[in-house]
A and B are shown apart, each in its own frame.
Chain A
């Protein structure tokens, strides 16, 4: 396979996804997007990316497969317990000083993180004054997130993570197990707005006190990362908090100056005063 031809094919494919369906992956980190596109090409049995491009343009049944490979992320409840412990012990005391709160989980995928935060805020007595916004570009992910149903086989890990995060209740208080699934209490989602929002093409999203966006930015190239971080800065109240994934940082971004390190180890940042 001629490598340059393949790169060109991928560029055309991403242009087609945008031009035909308005999904913009053109600013995604190239190595990962290529890997995912190869996976979907193999699964759908296209001999080349050009053939897949033709399928994508003329056969609308191809799109959902491509999107599911390009968007779906599997996370865990309370993934990286030390992050949630830092939110609980260091960020919550600041958030208590506000009469009402807005929390944005950007790139919420199938909802593990927003459920985690809803439980944490309930344990800390802040849930009733908080609105949660959980956004993603994938309708399938949003649907899964708003159902709050997870495989029972994952609950052991979720429970362990919750305990390690300093959980003050038992995770089993929040779900009912049946038929191999754990169905999380719908009251956890009463204050959650699930909505379609693209970090690539959409705009500022209200005055947030906390934005949690974990393991999303690693999929973006530098330019798109910078755009997204600016969007976060513009969407936060003064001294609002931004939490990133364990291996993401502002270090290589041109937006680093808009934030202060709040908890360097846990990648929690605070918007500067000015």
Chain B
């Protein structure tokens, strides 16, 4: 997997993704050279505290994404409950209230497709555990753009539907354990 000249990381997950998410984020240094965008399906009341929960375990900054906010490196931006998160080519975040995708808002597909447009081959897309098929189409668009695509091993993921659906359509995606994912993210260079 490519490690250099990367500009951003996008992560999507649903049921059972939180543990992996904190495992792969907690060792990243505060000086991490890339921004990370995260969409996790959660009930609204839990979603809103996700940034705080993760921040308490991480050295990088973790915050809920705001509309039109300029993107900074060393920061993980979490999609707020009930809004889709997108990234713009000009280096800002965008939110949308468009209809849910596979019953979900925020949706992983929406974030990943916008990241494929904004970063092309310089983005890493990661699909974690989940019980929905959201994320597969988005990861495919990252694959088509020449980016790096990684899927949590469905054999060990808490819920295999989401990673399995992503692997079905993304023929070039790598399968990783949470530990391998953590090591790969740490090794990434801008």
* Chain A residues at the B interface, C-beta cutoff of 8 Å: 1, 3, 29-32, 34-36, 73-74, 215, 217-219, 222, 225, 245-249, 251-252
Contacts and interface: CB of A to CB of B under 8 A. Distances in A.
Interface in B39-91: 66-70, 80, 82-83, 86-90
Given A30-B89, A218-B67, A247-B66, A35 B99 contact: no
Given A35-B113, A247-B83, A225 B89 contact: no
Given A3-B117, A247-B80, A247-B83, A32 B68 contact: no
Contacts of A217: 67
10 contacts: A29-B94, A30-B88, A30-B90, A31-B87, A31-B94, A31-B114, A35-B110, A218-B83, A246-B82, A247-B67
Contacts of A245: 97
B114 A225 contact: no
What bracket does the count of chain B residues touching chain A fall in? 20 to 34
A35 B66 contact: no
Given A36-B98, A219-B96, A31 B118 contact: yes
B68 A252 contact: yes
A236 to B, nearest CB: 22
Interface of B: 66-70, 80, 82-83, 86-90, 92, 94-99, 110, 113-114, 117-118, 120, 144-145
Contacts of A36: 98
A73 B145 CA distance: 30
A261 B145 CA distance: 43
B115 to A, nearest CB: 9
A249 B94 contact: no
A88 to B, nearest CB: 21
Contacts of B69: 252
A34 B117 contact: yes
A222 B66 CA distance: 13
A32 B120 contact: no
A175 B132 CA distance: 36
A35 B87 CA distance: 12
B86 A3 contact: no
B114 A249 contact: no
Given A29-B94, A32-B98, A218-B95, A249 B67 contact: yes
Contact of A31 (B80, B82, B117): B117
